[in-house]
Amino acid sequence: MRGRRQPALLIAALTAGALVLSACGGGGGNNPANNLQGKVDANDINPKPVSELKDGGDLRWAVSKLSVQFNYHHLDGTERDSADITEALMPRIHMPNARGELIPNKNYVESVQLVSTNPQQVVEYKLNPKAVWYDGTPLSYKDFDAQFKALNGTNAAFVTSSNTGYEDIEKVERGATDQDVKVTFKNKFGDWRSLFDPLYPASTNSDPKVFNEGWIEKPLTTAGPFKLDSIDRGAKILTLVPNDKWWGDKPKLSRIIYRQLDVDSTAQAFAAGDVDFIDIGPSVTTFQQVKPVPGAVIRKSLAPDFRHMTFNGAKGAILDDPKLRLAIQKAIDRTTIAKSQIGAIIPDAKPLNNHIYVEGLKDYKDQGQLVAFNKDQAAKELDELGWKREGEGTRKKDGKELVIRDVIPSAVETSANEAKQAQQMLAAIGVKLDIQTVPSELFFKEYVNKGNFDVTHFSWIGTPTPASSKGGIYKLDPNAVNQNYGRIGNETINKLLTDANSELDDAKRAELANKADEEIWKSGHSLLLYQRPNAIGVKDTLANFGAFGFAGFEFEKIGYVK
């Protein structure tokens, strides 16, 4: 299970590059893979004009599992394997560029304008009249209205991953034509460009049953450059082909073939030429395996993605006391973890110290001092909390041992390494970390999504709109889980994030978001580990594809050089 970028929210995901991978063949010292392509502070996708690309060709894409929920806005639909498929099918009203700026996508909109900010915020969309769903129905205000109503949180029958932004809309109206959309907000929402992305049709957003269950087996429609050709659950292969009703530039590829592979065989498949790229991510093992593959390059970019440890603070959980969570976090040496995990890929690897902004964004502030590594202080605070230690044993309080269940997915090298390191560090102060490895295919559905853990680790894949996209993670709503899986938060965090979301001034919004980050640290919500490398091993003949960084995929431009 990979991570993925999306301007509406973040995505909980494992990354293919974080897996335990078997040794691969190939070798030789003088091939392009030994000279790393690009820099970590630049988008690196081998950009080529489409005129220089061949017509046809397959892009063979490894996934750790075929999706069981192709509705991205459903709680179970936010894994990257799903999103990588739906992004080729569903409309993106705004596309992020390499700088993370959201630009109107001319395939779907002729114009997007913020026409009023006072007394109410009003945004008007003029849709591309050529844009149609696969059944021939034009995109219209009806699609925007149905998505707003499904995602605004007023109907609990819709099992949504996030209501951020949609809950601030008052109404969606028809303009002069069905392709003129007027969105009026009851509360100002600064990251309004992140909304309706991806856009789903009114026909599947109007009924909660269809919203929740209709997209489980396969995608129901398309309004993108590709369409579903076939899905074979037995062979674990899903194939997309160009959409014959697509009105934009004709795709260069003839097929995109998504193939489910065991996570520990992906590098071997790449080396054997069975897949055309591999997400190396934070895995040094994979990095070292990909470097000698003939005809391969490694493309790198700075990206808004990061590894973290989420704590479970739900009522009754062993970690429901924020003071206990903070004491434990101080005993984990994040610098050591970062350097050991990704030092071979990013030599100056260091901990990430902001829950909202990553390094490389102008609004990033280092605010992680509260949990700076201090083993002695951690032990002292545990003593003060009544968790006493006798000799070298596990701490106890009222006869109960301080045993924390760390749930990680199987065959994920990065999670296993992080867990083992944390286990050793916590053992030094008398805290027992019980590592429970569960099947990867059940990790999110049965454990993370249900809060069935004391602590767990995975990647959050960032967005160009971090202030609003983090709401589903760090806001605490007693009536909905969203992506705050550990149920940790408070009204101060909620208000600061809400105020940041409603601030149209970029500088003021960042100031509020950084104040929210300070409070998130105080709550012991999660321990940030390090910014995840965007390192991609790819065939050297593949163009307009690789380490996208902050940018989105332009599927119709992906292809092979002549």
| Residue 80 pLDDT level (bands cut at 50, 70, 90) | confident
Q: Residue 78: what pLDDT?
A: 83
Q: Residue 42: what pLDDT?
A: 63
Both 70 and 113 in a single domain? no
Quick check: 543 pLDDT over 80?
A: yes
Residue 5 domain flag = no
Both 108 and 178 in a single domain? yes
Share above pLDDT 70 across residues of the chain, in percent, rounded to a whole number: 92
Q: How far is CA 63 from the centre of its chain?
A: 15
Q: Residue 291: what pLDDT?
A: 92
Q: Which tens digit of pLDDT belongs to each residue from 445-497? A: 899 999 999 999 999 988 878 888 888 899 998 877 678 999 999 999 999 99
| Residue 337 pLDDT level (bands cut at 50, 70, 90) | very high
* Least confidently predicted of 10-19, 158-167, 410-419: 10-19
What is the C-alpha separation between 181 and 518, in angstroms, rounded? 38
Are 222 and 135 in contact, with CB atoms under 8 Å apart? no
| Residue 10 pLDDT level (bands cut at 50, 70, 90) | very low
Residue 401 domain flag = yes
Domain boundary among 214, 247, 267: 214
E runs forming strands in 167-291: 169-174, 180-185, 226-232, 237-242, 255-260, 277-279
Quick check: 5 pLDDT over 60?
A: no
> Residue 111 burial by CB count (10 A; 0-12/13-18/19+): exposed, middle or buried?
exposed
What is the C-alpha separation between 282 and 412, in angstroms, rounded? 11
Domain boundary among 214, 234, 250: 214
| Residue 275 pLDDT level (bands cut at 50, 70, 90) | very high
* Least confidently predicted of 333-342, 343-352, 446-455: 343-352
Q: Residue 481: what pLDDT?
A: 67
Q: Which helix (H) or strand (E) holds 85?
A: helix 80-86
Q: Residue 36: what pLDDT?
A: 34
Q: CATH no. for residue 184? A: 3.90.76.10
Both 248 and 377 in a single domain? no
Quick check: 512 pLDDT over 80?
A: yes
Both 369 and 489 in a single domain? yes
| Residues in contact with 506: Cβ distance below 8 Å, sequence separation at least 6, in sequence order | 190
* Span 128-151, average pLDDT: 98
Both 321 and 454 in a single domain? yes
Quick check: 313 pLDDT over 60?
A: yes
Domain boundary among 183, 214, 245: 214
* Least confidently predicted of 16-25, 212-221, 274-283: 16-25
Q: Residue 161: what pLDDT?
A: 87
Q: Residue 262: what pLDDT?
A: 79
* Span 496-501, average pLDDT: 92
Both 389 and 526 in a single domain? yes
Both 263 and 401 in a single domain? no
The total number of structural domains that make up the chain: 3
Quick check: 264 pLDDT over 80?
A: no
Quick check: 26 pLDDT over 50?
A: no
Residue 3 domain flag = no
Buried b (16+ CB within 10 A) or exposed e, 198-213: bbbbbbbbeeeeebbe
* DSSP3 helix / strand / coil % (the chain, rounded to 5): 30, 25, 50
Residue the block writes with tokens 């929920």: 69
* Span 313-337, average pLDDT: 97
Q: Which tens digit of pLDDT belongs to each residue from 191-223? A: 999 999 999 999 999 999 999 999 999 999 999
* Segments forming the whole domain that contains residue 347: 305-531
* Span 15-27, average pLDDT: 26
Q: Mean pLDDT of all residues in the chain?
A: 90
Are 301 and 281 in contact, with CB atoms under 8 Å apart? no
Q: 13 or 124: whose pLDDT is higher?
A: 124
Residue 2 domain flag = no
Structure tokens at 227: 């369409």
pTM, two decimal places: 0.78
Residue 22 domain flag = yes
Both 352 and 479 in a single domain? yes
Q: 46 or 14: whose pLDDT is higher?
A: 46
Q: 137 or 7: whose pLDDT is higher?
A: 137
Alpha-carbon distances, residue 350 vs 112, 319, 551 (angstroms): 40, 26, 24
Structure tokens at 8: 């509406």
Q: Residue 478: what pLDDT?
A: 83
Residue 418 domain flag = yes
Both 206 and 355 in a single domain? no
Both 131 and 279 in a single domain? no
Residue 219 domain flag = no
Nearest Cα to Cα of residue 31 among 274, 271, 264: 271
Are 50 and 552 in contact, with CB atoms under 8 Å apart? no
> Residue 2 burial by CB count (10 A; 0-12/13-18/19+): exposed, middle or buried?
buried
Q: Residue 371: what pLDDT?
A: 98
Residue 415 domain flag = yes
| Residue 246 pLDDT level (bands cut at 50, 70, 90) | very high
**436, amino acid identity:** Q
Q: CATH no. for residue 326? A: 3.10.105.10
Both 394 and 494 in a single domain? yes
* Span 508-532, average pLDDT: 97
Q: CATH no. for residue 277? A: 3.40.190.10
Q: CA gyration radius for the chain?
A: 23
DSSP 414: H
Q: 276 or 21: whose pLDDT is higher?
A: 276
Both 395 and 407 in a single domain? yes
